[in-house]
Amino acid sequence: MRAWAVVETGKPLQEIELPTPEPKGAEVLLEVTHAGVCHSDLHIWEGEYDLGSRGKMRLTDRGVTLPLAMGHEIVGRVVKLGPEAEGKGVKPGDLRCVYPWVGCGKCAVCQRDEENMCLTPRSLGVYQHGGYATHVLATHWKHLVDIEGVDPSLAATYACSGVTVYSAINKLMPMDPDEPVVLVGAGGLGMNAIAILKAMGHRRICVVDVDAAKLDAAKQQGATDTVLASGEDTARAIVTACGGPVGGVIDLVNGTATSRFAFDSLRKGGKLVQVGLFGGEMSIPLPLMPIRALTVQGSYVGNVKELRALIDIAKQGKIPAIPVANEPLRNADAVLNRLRAGQIIGRVVLTAQAA
């Protein structure tokens, strides 16, 4: 198979040939038709995360090996089944969204279909080859989700940005639909978060970003309020826009600056859910945590049960589409550079048809 792979961190992706996997056990081989380009791919490409005063965390220290075909937002067509996948409702020719956040498959967490919490992750596009390739190997037939009736380009985004914000939103709920939910970041995650909140009946959505054009797109997507992040006054601007301190913030950027103004925007009993991987560190005035009964919680992608539930909502036509542009797979490197430069509104999904 062909892959557009990270061969050396920070260097241009290279088109390489890799052995096409032979599915074993419950595995399923798919031909990739769509692969979303996610901001997390930038960190994998660059090879490290910023841990603030603790320095850098190298992905090679976490078991990432090169060369690697990234891409964890995958839709593909079934090509071949492993013997244990036969008769399980999946057959060659089926178009499926591939759940990428897989674990060992054996521990109690994995047996509960909560593999994103497994202590020995094997995520597609991170620890094994993903969607920036002509083929991908799903580690189990149960990771394939039927997307009939959903645009496959949009469905691909649900495997990461969609299920990630769906899981984060669920950690805030229940909330009164007219109480503001603040979303920090108006990229692909932010757009999907607006769409999913609207699908869930939430009526007050405030979006914060440093880019006015992205805030305009957020408004078009359905945000009721927007705040242009600027220096020390961002928390105050959020409180003003929302009519007071807020009950819930989802930080899709999660850098030093955003964590500070997100925390400072919370009302008594409020919750900050941290999703993004921008990096840095957070300093919290500890007495305020108990005095104001605040919660700060991390949220790591989502599980396959949440992906199935999300796609079921999408099949009902309840989730407004986000802006999606298609590019051929061979343009993966150029798209990554545009994403790093902040030049993408919504999501770019690579397509095999034009590769």
Bigger pLDDT: 61 or 242?
242
Residue 159: burial class (beta carbons within 10 Å; 0-12, 13-18, 19+)? buried
**Domain co-membership, 204 together with 333:** no
DSSP characters over 110-172: HHTT-GGG-SS---BTTTB--SSBSEEEES-GGGEEE-TTS-HHHHHHIIIIIHHHHHHHHHH
Last residue within a domain, chosen from 279, 298, 317: 298
pLDDT for position 61: 84
Mean pLDDT (whole number) for 276-296: 96
**Domain co-membership, 123 together with 212:** no
Q: Which residues contact 317 (CB under 8 A, 6 or more apart)?
A: none
Q: Is-contact 30 79, C-beta < 8 A?
A: yes
Question: Can you read off the two tokens belonging to residue 178?
Answer: 């007219």
Report residue 140: phi and psi, to 5°. Answer: -160, 145
DSSP at 86: T
**Domain co-membership, 124 together with 8:** yes
Instruction: Residue 51: count other Cβ atoms within 10 Å of its Cβ.
Output: 12
CA–CA distance, 158 with 167 (Å, rounded to integer): 11
If one counts the domains in the chain, the total is 2
Q: Among 158, 167, 260, which residue's Cα sits nearest to residue 208?
A: 260
Residue 271 binned pLDDT confidence (cut-offs 50, 70, 90) = very high
CA–CA distance, 296 with 29 (Å, rounded to integer): 40
pLDDT for position 350: 97
DSSP at 6: B
Question: Can you read off the two tokens belonging to residue 311?
Answer: 């796609």
CA distances from 150 to 32, 153, 161, 276, 313 (A): 17, 9, 16, 26, 10
**Domain co-membership, 183 together with 229:** yes
pLDDT for position 298: 98
CATH number for the domain spanning 97: value is 3.90.180.10
Query: Structure pTM?
Result: 0.95
**Domain co-membership, 212 together with 329:** no
**Domain co-membership, 181 together with 314:** no
Mean pLDDT (whole number) for 98-121: 97
**Residue that the structure tokens 């079921």 belong to:** 312
Q: Examine the pLDDT at 38 and tell me if it is beyond 50.
A: yes
CA–CA distance, 145 with 96 (Å, rounded to integer): 5
Question: Can you read off the two tokens belonging to residue 41?
Answer: 């791919």
3-state SS, residue 284: coil
**Domain co-membership, 273 together with 313:** no
Residue 355 binned pLDDT confidence (cut-offs 50, 70, 90) = very low
Mean pLDDT (whole number) for 270-276: 98
CATH number for the domain spanning 276: value is 3.40.50.720
CA–CA distance, 157 with 302 (Å, rounded to integer): 13
CA distances from 170 to 186, 190, 263, 281, 306 (A): 19, 15, 19, 25, 10
**Domain co-membership, 12 together with 150:** yes
3-state SS, residue 255: strand
First to last CA, the chain: 13
pLDDT tens-digit readout, 132-184: 999 999 999 999 999 999 999 999 999 999 999 999 999 999 999 999 999 99
**Domain co-membership, 146 together with 48:** yes
CA distances from 276 to 186, 214, 300 (A): 12, 17, 9
Per the rule left: phi > 0, alpha: psi between -120 and 50, beta: everything else, 24 is beta
CA–CA distance, 157 with 160 (Å, rounded to integer): 6
Q: Examine the pLDDT at 245 and tell me if it is beyond 90.
A: yes
**Domain co-membership, 102 together with 168:** no
Q: Examine the pLDDT at 107 and tell me if it is beyond 80.
A: yes
Question: Can you read off the two tokens belonging to residue 238?
Answer: 């959020």
Residue 59 binned pLDDT confidence (cut-offs 50, 70, 90) = confident
pLDDT for position 353: 62
Q: Examine the pLDDT at 327 and tell me if it is beyond 90.
A: yes
Residue 354 binned pLDDT confidence (cut-offs 50, 70, 90) = very low
Q: Is-contact 205 241, C-beta < 8 A?
A: no
Mean pLDDT (whole number) for 280-293: 96
- What's the domain range around 288? 162-298
CA–CA distance, 326 with 180 (Å, rounded to integer): 33
pLDDT tens-digit readout, 204-233: 999 999 999 999 999 999 999 999 998 789
3-state SS, residue 222: coil
**Domain co-membership, 311 together with 290:** no
**Domain co-membership, 174 together with 105:** no
